Amino acid sequence: MSITKKLNQIKEAIPKEVTLVAVSKTQPETAIIEAYQAGQRIFGENKVQEMIAKQKNLPNDIQWHMIGHLQRNKVKYMASFVQLIHGVESFKVLQEINKQAQKHNRIIDCLLQLKIATETTKFGMQVQEAEKIINSEALINLKNIKITGLMGMATFTTDTATLNKEFTTLKSTFDHLKKIATAPNCKLQILSMGMSSDYKLAIACGSTMIRIGSSIFGNRN
Ligand SMILES: *Cc1c(COP(=O)(O)O)cnc(C)c1O
């Protein structure tokens, strides 16, 4: 099946309030162009270098999301254009994003990545750390970033009960943090959870943004 067909199938299957991020990591630019021509504008990459290379060659109205694990020293390379950074794992990273965004006179939207999976390989912070960031006096001074939501990655499993538990936990954390957030640059609206294998369940559990790669572009090498 073509990329266009697969993209349209997913779009038809999800509520229109849910934002679809097409995860184009490792995919060639031709594949991105096909999705673009089918109307897709939001693409997610997990490596800064790869995202920069693609951004240079592809249409200007593409919104690039960084969905991968983020190294602080790479932030500067994407600060001029990145639309949303999903994987913020510490206050230090937020400070660096703020510093680089300031240089470009921009405000960069960020999601705090929460650890929801039991696997030790999954990145993210604990709820207490997120609370600390959201409540901190220092956050108010980061005028060039905005915390717009949370992101999480479930355990790599087909066990629905486990996935359901992890997504539900993240959703209640989201609701809780949303209530305690008072800083002007912290308004939790986006809950980024769900990938090719589990997005339907993620949406049922309250996801507002799904990150889909292989179900659109086929398997990665
Ligand atoms: C690769 C990736 C995805 C997409 O995974 P698929 O299973 O191909 O849909 C989503 N989120 C993150 C953080 C990823 O790295």
The string of pLDDT tens digits covering residues 6-41 is: 999 999 999 999 999 999 999 999 999 999 999 999
Between CA 121 and CA 28, with CA 83 as vertex, the angle to 5 degrees is 70
Tell me the best of 211, 216, 217, 221 to mutate to test the pocket of ligand 1, counting ligand atoms within 8 Å of each CB and taking the most: 211
CA dihedral angle for residue 42, residue 45, residue 46, residue 49, rounded to 10 degrees: -140
Q: Which atom of ligand 1 is nearest to the CA of 211?
A: 10
pTM, 2 dp: 0.97
Tell me the best of 19, 21, 23, 26 to mutate to test the pocket of ligand 1, counting ligand atoms within 8 Å of each CB and taking the most: 23
CA dist 149 to 112, 126, 146, 167, Å?
A: 7, 15, 9, 15
Over residues 73-93, the mean pLDDT reads 97
The pLDDT, as a whole number, for residue 122 is 72
Q: Which atom of ligand 1 is nearest to the CA of 217?
A: 8
pLDDT tens figures, 102-118: 999 999 999 999 999 88
Give residues with Cβ within 8 angstroms of 169, minimum separation 6. Answer: 116
For residue 177, the surrounding DSSP H or E stretch is helix 160-180
For residue 148, the surrounding DSSP H or E stretch is strand 145-152
Residue nearest to atom 7 of ligand 1 (CA): 196
Confirm or reject: Cβ of 66 under 6 Å from ligand 1.
no
Q: Which atom of ligand 1 is nearest to the CA of 214?
A: 8
Cα of 51 from ligand 1 centre, angstroms: 15
